[in-house]
Structure 1
Amino acid sequence: MIARPLSATLGQFVRVPFEGATYRRLVYLLLAGPLGLAYFVGTTTGVSTGLGLSVTLIGLPILGLTLLAVTGAAWLEAQLSRVLLDQETATPTALSTLHDAIDDPDTGVVGACTAFLVDATAWTSLAVVLLKSVFGLVAFVAVVTAGSVVGSLLVAPLVYDAPGMAYQTGSYTVTTLSGALGLAGLGVVLGLVSLHVLNALADLGGYLTDALLSIERGEPAE
């Protein structure tokens, strides 16, 4: 196996801020935060309400609608993965199963609901949503933390000698231009590393979604 030239590896490392795919992945990670929160609130509210009313005729329809909404959220996650991560992510077959059952004049409401419920992706969609609730928090914190740390280092040459303030990072107070430039250089390196790590984190989110939703098929559905 021929070793990859060092120049090519270095070029790939420093090219990451200039690639559009990098920023699409950052958008994916930033969206994961609010979406994950919405998934968690919506799912827990629907399930708790449905279970609380399960002794009545209202509880089961609420649980069914919650599962349908969860499957729709998993479909959205698959689309985000396809558009923002360029991954051929599988979508829940439960939705197409339900659609086909509804279109079939020989299938009643009970039959359509049964077809939906026995499709494994209706339940793996629930796993996707619960997983993305946690992933969204991790992703959002990672992006914000990396951005704030790298940003504070990069602006050091601009603010280290600002009147009325002392620029300090950790226990080190910057008082010279050379020190500020050194921090900015560290910020560039840390920024490049952070972008690669965040890219990998975004790709992981897409792969997890595909792994859970491709359970019913060998190839992702269009």
Structure 2
Amino acid sequence: MTTRSTSDTFAQFVRIPFEETTYRRLAYLLLAGPLGFVYFVGATTGISTGLSLSTILIGLPILGLTLLAVTGAAWLEAHLSRALLDQETPVPTALSTFQRGLDDPETDVLAACKAFLVDPTTWTSLVVVLLKSVFGLVAFVALVIAGSVVPALLAAPLLYDDPTVTYQAGSLTVTTLPAALGLAGLGVLLGLVALHVLTALADLGGYLTDALLSVEQTDPTE
């Protein structure tokens, strides 16, 4: 039993580069960086502008539009979580609540706005967007580190004897094939570890989004 368990664990560890789900999770991390930046700039600009102009009333519509945009961003995050992470993340109920209010002839715009503002997913969507800003930075740094260190190690057998290149690993200058092969082997190991860490990081992002948007469950087809 122990031998089979160890064998299964090792097989699971080494087959990660050949799994389609790995690359969907990497795509999720690649998107997290630029999306997180856009979310942060949009949310902070809209909120700060709206608050600064709130004394002359024009700031209130700006704040409302910012919250709508933030909720739309959370809607996008829910769909990314489903498509790339296999999560059953619900979309924010605030959007459908607001849309139903506008479509209802017996409900005026102010009532629809009030329903939107009291919906919990309006505010959890804001948390999603702010967290995604931080998550996107973490994902970017993790991808840059893994994407620079691992390929450099794997390339050692190809570069160590190139007369135009001085191949170094830290303070050690690599000049022999065994040393280069050793670094390549280390690169394979680190690459496998990096893939597991990166996929776990992507799953963490999906779990956070799912937890925040599951305040009120909704029909996932909405």
Matches of 2:16 and 2:219, distance apart in 1: 28
Q: What residue is the counterpart of 1:13 in the other structure?
A: 13
In 1: Cα distance, 2:24 partner to 2:220 partner: 23
Name the TM-score, length of structure 1 as normaliser.
0.96
> 1:49-76 deviations in whole A, cap 9, x for unaligned?
1111101131100000000000000110
Structure 1 residue 187 corresponds to structure 2 residue 192: no
Distance 1:142 1:164 in 2: 30
Q: Compute the displacement of 1:165 (Å).
A: 2.3
Contact 1:30/1:139 (CA < 8 Å) preserved in 2?
Answer: yes
- Between 1:48-57 and 1:70-79, the stretch displaced more is 48-57
Provide, for residues 96-121 of structure 1, a one-character-per-residue CA deviation record: whole Å limited to 9, x for no partner: 11111111110000010011001000
Partner of 1:116: 116
The one-character-per-residue Cα deviations of 1:119-164 (angstroms, maximum 9, x if unpaired) are 0000010000000000000001101111110010000000011113
Instruction: Confirm or deny that 1:221 pairs with 2:220.
Output: yes
| Letter matched to residue 121 of structure 2 | T
- 2:183 matches 1:151: no
**2:210: which partner in 1?**
210
Tell me the amino acid that sits aligned with residue 65 of structure 1.
Answer: L
Give 2:36's aligned residue.
36
Looking at structure 2, the residues matched to 221 and 24 of structure 1 have their Cα atoms a distance apart, in angstroms, of 20
Which amino acid counterpart does residue 194 of structure 2 have in structure 1? S
Identical-residue share of aligned pairs (%):
74
Match of 1:78 in 2: 78
Shift of 1:220: 6.5
1:63 counterpart = 2:63: yes
Question: 1 CA distance for matches of 2:90 and 2:126?
Answer: 15
Shift of 1:205: 0.1
Shift >4 Å, 4+ stretches: none
1:9 deviation in Å? 1.2
Gaps of 5+ in 2: none
RMSD: 1.2
Structure 2 CA distance for aligned equivalents of residues 20 and 165 of structure 1:
35
The whole-number CA distance in structure 2 between the counterparts of 1:165 and 1:7 is 40
Distance 2:86 2:216 in 1: 22
Q: What letter matches 2:220 in structure 1? A: A
Is it true that 1:165 corresponds to 2:165 in the alignment?
yes
Rounded to whole Å, the distance in 1 between the matches of 2:169 and 2:72 is 45
User: In 2 relative to 1, CA 81–152 (structure 1 residues): closer, same or farther, beyond 3 Å?
Assistant: same
In 1, Cα distance between equivalents of 2:10 and 2:164: 41
SS at match of 2:168: strand
Number of residues of Structure 1 aligned to a counterpart in Structure 2: 220
SS of residue paired to 1:77: helix
